[in-house]
Structure 1
Amino acid sequence: MMTDIKRFHSGARASQVVVSGQHIETAGLVAKCTDKGIAEQTRCVLDQLEQLMVDVGANRNQITRIQIWLANMAYFEEMNKVYDAWVSEIDKPARACVGSQLASPEYLIEIQATGTFY
């Protein structure tokens, strides 16, 4: 069976979100507000994620898994305060969070998500 693949917000290197059948997959999202601290960058990335879900005709309750990379695990508690407030209003996705060197030093957090249409 052939499944249509739709790509949204495609650039030279990647699409920001890809839909294949019922499956939704985002790219790794980093904050556009890189001059801010971890709380603001977390909020910025979650806002971007939510908007991408809307762009493909879904909502954040359809997110099934979130992967978080932190430039420094010392940001874990502060990031979680923002994340916990955001996720408290939705069906809880599975989640992993690790420390990692990100692509640029101004990025404090990167988030990638998968979801499904139901």
Structure 2
Amino acid sequence: MNIQRHDTKPRMSRAVIHNNTIYLCGQVPGPEHRFCTITDQAESMLARVDALLEEVGSDREHLLSATVYLKSMDDFKTFNDIWDTWVPQGHAPARACVQAAMASPELLCEITVVAAVK
């Protein structure tokens, strides 16, 4: 069984690849966007997903599933507007979106993604 772990720390790996499937750890906005609006945080977070997917050999067109965590469902429509422009047409993954307490109070969103290797 071949399992590749990327940027592994004691608590987690940033990405794990097994059977041509990529599992990303939770992605949050970059530090420069932690005290910004949901729009800024969502765009930053999704840019980080793009960068990590590229690093491990995938992209948005190979998304299989995503779980979105929002601090407040008041941000659901705004997040969906950003999401809908980010996901390539015809390549929408299976997705869940839930309200959740965040690890840091300034965070408004987090996402976990599963993708296929290109």
TM-score normalised per structure 1: 0.91
Instruction: Please give the residue correspondences for 1:1-118 in structure 2 after superposition, counting only pairs within 5 Å.
Output: 2=1, 4-32=2-30, 33-89=33-89, 91-117=91-117
What 5-or-longer segments of structure 1 have no aligned partner? Answer: none
Q: 1:103 to 1:34 in 2, by over 3 A?
A: same
CA contact 2:61–2:88 (8 Å) conserved in 1: no
Q: 1:17 to 1:35 in 2, by over 3 A?
A: same
AA at the equivalent of 1:55? E
What 5-or-longer segments of structure 2 have no aligned partner? Answer: none
Shift of 1:117: 2.4
Distance across 2 between alignment mates of 1:13 and 1:101: 20
Distance across 2 between alignment mates of 1:109 and 1:84: 16
- What do the CA deviations read for 1:8-48 (whole angstroms, capped 9, x no partner)? 12233211111112111011111112021101110011111
AA at the equivalent of 2:114? T
Distance across 1 between alignment mates of 2:68 and 2:85: 16
Percent sequence identity over aligned pairs: 31
CA contact 1:64–1:115 (8 Å) conserved in 2: yes
Query: Secondary structure at 1:30's aligned position in 2?
Result: coil
Distance across 1 between alignment mates of 2:9 and 2:36: 25
Query: Secondary structure at 1:57's aligned position in 2?
Result: coil
Query: Secondary structure at 2:10's aligned position in 1?
Result: coil
TM-score normalised per structure 2: 0.91
Between 4-13 and 72-81, report the one with greater CA deviation.
4-13
In the alignment of these two chains, the number of paired residues is: 116
The ranges of structure 1 where at least 4 consecutive aligned residues each deviate by more than 3 angstroms after the TM superposition are: none
Distance across 2 between alignment mates of 1:95 and 1:72: 17
